Structure 1
């Protein structure tokens, strides 16, 4: 078994299974990129589009498109900077923060039920794999940064 191939094959279906739990609870179907931006805004409180692009490792045009759609959906507020009128600060609306909290609660509950249904050995294996998965994410992000510098 090739670990990289098997992990790659599981990531998409796992993500989609979690997303389906959100739909089953009647939550709006937001693209994952919008959810990631909302997470950054919830964490920071307020951030410029440039800072959001850096944190999400996304092109400024991608952030601009996300913000345009999310502002229209009343999920993001744009506030002119007090110090530089050419710059705006982005923040999540109370509605967006509530939705993000509901997404997280729903996803966590579904994952908890699924984990509880596993045999003890399977649950233990996942528990023990979590630090390695976190390390894998850091390594992938580091490689992405290195690849972008080379390009």
Structure 2
């Protein structure tokens, strides 16, 4: 492990582990023969799974440019994953919703990933499982801190 002045450099070590951990979880989709969606599309679907939203609201939640959302929505609408709902009040406005197909896919992804993580966690020593459980609130805090400091694209 990288050390600075004899102390582990937590930021370096954590950053080194993030990519491989993410890829290991993503591989579970392939072993379950689930469709391969880019992470950006999955993030957009997760926003829409919480409820329909305008493209601008989605862009703000994802902290990306509205043009990024437009490009994603175009491809995802063609694939039957996103539905565009015209406003009854303002014909220039649409709301976006995840299709039933997309919600089923997200559910399958989550079930598959959760099962793989449970198997991996069950194989760890009890002290490692407990350390990970205790770290969850700190990881939430870390995410909030990174979100607060990272500028959005749009």
1:74 aligned counterpart, secondary structure: coil
Q: TM-score, normalised by structure 2?
A: 0.92
Q: Which residue among 2, 11, 16 is the counterpart of 2:18?
A: 11
Matches within 5 A, 1:94-113: 94-113=100-119
Q: How many residues align?
A: 145
Tell whether 2:63 aligns with 1:57: yes
Q: Deviations over 1:37-78 (max 9, x none)?
A: 11111101x111000001111110110111011011110011
Matches within 5 A, 1:26-41: 26-41=33-48
Q: TM-score, normalised by structure 1?
A: 0.94
1:77 aligned counterpart, secondary structure: strand
Partners of 2:74 and 2:9 in 1: how far apart? 41
**1:117 matched residue in structure 2:** 123
Going by fraction, where is helix more abundant, 1 or 2? 1
1:141 aligned counterpart, secondary structure: helix
**1:78 matched residue in structure 2:** 84
Cα distance, 1:87 vs structure 2 = 1.0
Instruction: Please provide the CA RMSD for this pair.
Output: 0.8
**1:132 matched residue in structure 2:** 138
Return structure 1 stretches of 4+ with deviation > 6 angstroms: none
Partners of 1:25 and 1:73 in 2: how far apart? 20
Q: Deviations over 1:72-129 (max 9, x none)?
A: 1110011211111111110011000000000000000000100010011111110110
Structure 2 stretches of 5 or more lacking a match? 1-7
Partners of 1:27 and 1:100 in 2: how far apart? 10
